[in-house]
A and B are shown apart, each in its own frame.
Chain A
Amino acid sequence: MDLSVNIGPMKLKNPVLTASGTFGYGEEYAEHYDLSLLGGVMMKGISARPREGNPPPRIYETPSGMLNAIGLQNVGLKKFLKEKLPFIRQYETACIANVLGETPAEYVKLARALDEAGVDGIELNVSCPNVKKGGVAFASDMKGMARLVKKVRAEVKHAALIVKLSPNVTDIRVPARLCEEEGADAISLINTITGMAIDAETRAPVLANITGGLSGPAIKPVALRMVWEVYHTVKIPIIGMGGISNGIDAVEFMLAGASAVAVGTANFVTPDAAPRVVEGIKEYMKAHGINNVSELTGALRMPGA
């Protein structure tokens, strides 16, 4: 049984990653299982300098989902290179760094440093809904996003360049097409959907940031639809995510067109959710006589076809 997949120049031993922001830098989950069971780890987003993040309350549970407004609390590039990257390198798993700049120049600086440090993939975060600069601002500035991808592309020589898209757009195919045109190796989607929670008793917003990003099983149908739309728009590989909690969810994303998948909020629900997804995919492959996991990508049967 062959579980390996290729995302641009990056080879993954299996198609299961952990989504950025749901897995820290791997250290906490390494206490629960061997991280080498994973295809890769998409690390918590990093910025040029450490970020303190948003004030609490930062999270709120919703029906089959949750809102978060962490605000990219992170250790910054320097500490990432010194402590976090060597840690994850102890495991036989791909390391994908997620980067967020406040300016295009910062994105470029981060991407260059990480590429030189030898990460396997660089995921451009142009979709975080909880920061004021960078992030989701690009969802309403397609030209700016395209220019950014072009600039970063010129600097990234070895790692796979992945752009993480926001679902908070009218037509997801537009940014996807731009990413492909500017030379991205892959697209990851979806980031969280902007949402809000209100306490009727106090008449106040629940989150200190007022709005937050919705994740979990609640957003899976939206994510599946967007993966399917993007698959029929671009030729570069897609890393699908949004509410994946088990092997069957992962298979559905692959059928819609994803070459790899990422487990996000499910890590919070069950610490070893991601390796269980790997096992679930294997079970499905056995039951359906599939030898190569990439056979599943885009293998959706359309009615009447």
Chain B
Amino acid sequence: MITFRREKSSLSFKAEVLSNTPLNAEHLLLTVKPIAVETINAVAAEATEVKGSMTPAKATSLKGPVAPPEPGQFYMLRVGPFPEPLLKRPLCFFRLGDNGSIEFLYRIRGKGTRLLSEIRPGAEIDVLGPLGRKYPRPPKGKTPLVVAGGTGLASVYPLIQSLGGRAVVFYGSSCGEEILFKSELEQMSAELHLATDDGSCGLKGTVLDMLRDYKLTADHFVYICGPEVMTSSVAKAVKETGAKGCASLEAHMACGVGACMGCVVMTTKGYKRVCREGPVFKLEELVFA
């Protein structure tokens, strides 16, 4: 049985796809269940003991624990057989499902997510994670205010969940069809403010329009995840009020663990790795073009 455990847990595991369900034209909900942990240290030890026979270069243990994910962290998922595509794809942790399963909310955007959307229940995929920094807890006395744009909801959803009804949530998307998990969000949030570009759900406009009409003060602690233009404009508006907060960024990644230096973003302290120092960064650290 695979269990979640923080100490001596493995970041590499095989998972069975339990479901991969379309939610609308572009978004899917993927549920995977860790089924086997792979540890090369154990493999090497075994291989030296066995003599004269072929030893598997790859052995799996069904007993090892996998690390528990925190809101804001992400996983790297293999979406097709090596070497096409070559690299795993980063997907943020959405929420835990039943029986130790992990859920991901994603949008089909390119080759990788298209391949992922074609994976059927029962398939086994390689997973690496959880990786990266989690969202910090709101400082004492501050009201958590969450701003999500489009698929950015996936990253802040478990944060809202973990805030136990305290979060003031602003969530915007292109149309009502694209507003996901509305009833869950209504239940989990202190306040839920919705906006759509076409006005088919909530206010006609953007999250920034809603925020401008809202009394955002330095007593709020703001969490942002969404498209880059939204993140930078919201971050700017937040900074003007004197409020502090953080934003989760996305980037194309190769390794996901901090080795390749491919996913960097400019900060006040130079280039930082989205996979390692992020994906959650303090707003005051970020430098927007």
Task: Choose one: B40, B54, B255, B265; the contact of A275 (CB below 8 Å).
Answer: B40
A265 to B55, CA, bound (A): 25
The answer, yes or no, to whether A201 is at the interface (CB within 8 Å) is no
The answer, yes or no, to whether B259 is at the interface (CB within 8 Å) is yes
Which chain B residues border A4 with CB–CB below 8 Å? none
Which chain A residues border B199 with CB–CB below 8 Å? none
Which chain B residues border A200 with CB–CB below 8 Å? none
When C-beta atoms are compared, the residue in chain A nearest to B87 turns out to be: A61
Which chain A residues border B261 with CB–CB below 8 Å? 24, 53, 58, 70, 73
A279 to B266, CA, bound (A): 40
CB distance from A16 to the nearest CB of B (A): 12
- CB pair A276–B254 under 8 Å, yes or no, is no
Beta-carbon contacts under 8 Å, B44-102 to A: 44, 47, 52-55, 57-58, 82-88
CB distance from A55 to the nearest CB of B (A): 7
**Provided the pairs A24-B259, A28-B257, A28-B259 are in contact, do residues A64 and B84 lie with their beta carbons within 8 angstroms?**
yes
The answer, yes or no, to whether A141 is at the interface (CB within 8 Å) is no
The answer, yes or no, to whether B30 is at the interface (CB within 8 Å) is no
Which chain B residues border A62 with CB–CB below 8 Å? 86
The answer, yes or no, to whether B270 is at the interface (CB within 8 Å) is yes
- CB pair A53–B264 under 8 Å, yes or no, is yes
Which chain B residues border A34 with CB–CB below 8 Å? 41, 44
Which chain A residues border B253 with CB–CB below 8 Å? 59
Task: Choose one: A70, A269, A271; the contact of B11 (CB below 8 Å).
Answer: A271
CB distance from B47 to the nearest CB of A (A): 6
- CB pair A59–B262 under 8 Å, yes or no, is yes
- CB pair A269–B87 under 8 Å, yes or no, is yes
- CB pair B54–A29 under 8 Å, yes or no, is no
- CB pair B252–A57 under 8 Å, yes or no, is yes
Which chain A residues border B57 with CB–CB below 8 Å? 246-247, 276, 279-280, 283
- CB pair B86–A216 under 8 Å, yes or no, is yes
- CB pair A279–B264 under 8 Å, yes or no, is no
- A13-51 vs B, Cβ < 8 Å mask (1 yes, 0 no): 000000001111001110111100100000000000000
Which chain A residues border B39 with CB–CB below 8 Å? 33
The answer, yes or no, to whether A238 is at the interface (CB within 8 Å) is no
- CB pair B87–A66 under 8 Å, yes or no, is yes
- CB pair B44–A265 under 8 Å, yes or no, is no
Task: Choose one: B251, B255, B258, B270; the contact of A56 (CB below 8 Å).
Answer: B251
- CB pair A73–B264 under 8 Å, yes or no, is yes
CB distance from B232 to the nearest CB of A (A): 15
- CB pair B86–A287 under 8 Å, yes or no, is no
Which chain A residues border B255 with CB–CB below 8 Å? 28, 267-268, 271
Task: Choose one: A265, A280, A286; the contact of B86 (CB below 8 Å).
Answer: A265
The answer, yes or no, to whether B17 is at the interface (CB within 8 Å) is no
- CB pair A24–B44 under 8 Å, yes or no, is no
The answer, yes or no, to whether B288 is at the interface (CB within 8 Å) is no
Which chain A residues border B84 with CB–CB below 8 Å? 63-64
The answer, yes or no, to whether A297 is at the interface (CB within 8 Å) is no
A290 to B54, CA, bound (A): 13
Which chain B residues border A91 with CB–CB below 8 Å? none
The answer, yes or no, to whether B123 is at the interface (CB within 8 Å) is no
Task: Choose one: A32, A53, A56; the contact of B257 (CB below 8 Å).
Answer: A32
The answer, yes or no, to whether A195 is at the interface (CB within 8 Å) is no
- CB pair A275–B44 under 8 Å, yes or no, is yes
Which chain A residues border B263 with CB–CB below 8 Å? 56, 58-59
A22 to B259, CA, bound (A): 6
Which chain A residues border B41 with CB–CB below 8 Å? 33-34, 37
A70 to B264, CA, bound (A): 9
A31 to B86, CA, bound (A): 22
- CB pair A278–B44 under 8 Å, yes or no, is yes
Which chain A residues border B252 with CB–CB below 8 Å? 57, 59-61
The answer, yes or no, to whether B206 is at the interface (CB within 8 Å) is no
- CB pair B254–A59 under 8 Å, yes or no, is yes
- CB pair A56–B264 under 8 Å, yes or no, is yes
CB distance from A288 to the nearest CB of B (A): 11
Additional A-B contact list (16), CB under 8 Å, known A31-B257, A33-B40, A267-B255: A22-B260, A28-B255, A28-B276, A29-B257, A32-B257, A61-B87, A64-B84, A64-B86, A68-B254, A73-B271, A216-B83, A245-B82, A269-B83, A271-B11, A279-B58, A287-B54
User: What are 24 A-B pairs with beta-carbon distances under 8 A?
Assistant: A21-B260, A24-B261, A28-B255, A31-B257, A33-B39, A37-B41, A53-B264, A58-B264, A59-B252, A61-B85, A62-B86, A73-B261, A73-B271, A216-B83, A268-B87, A268-B254, A268-B259, A269-B82, A271-B257, A275-B43, A278-B44, A286-B52, A286-B53, A287-B54
Q: Which residues of A contact B (CB under 8 A)?
A: 21-24, 27-29, 31-34, 37, 52-53, 55-66, 68, 70, 73, 216-217, 245-247, 265, 267-272, 275-276, 278-280, 282-283, 286-287
**3 tightest A-B CB contacts, nearest first:** A59-B262, A279-B57, A268-B255
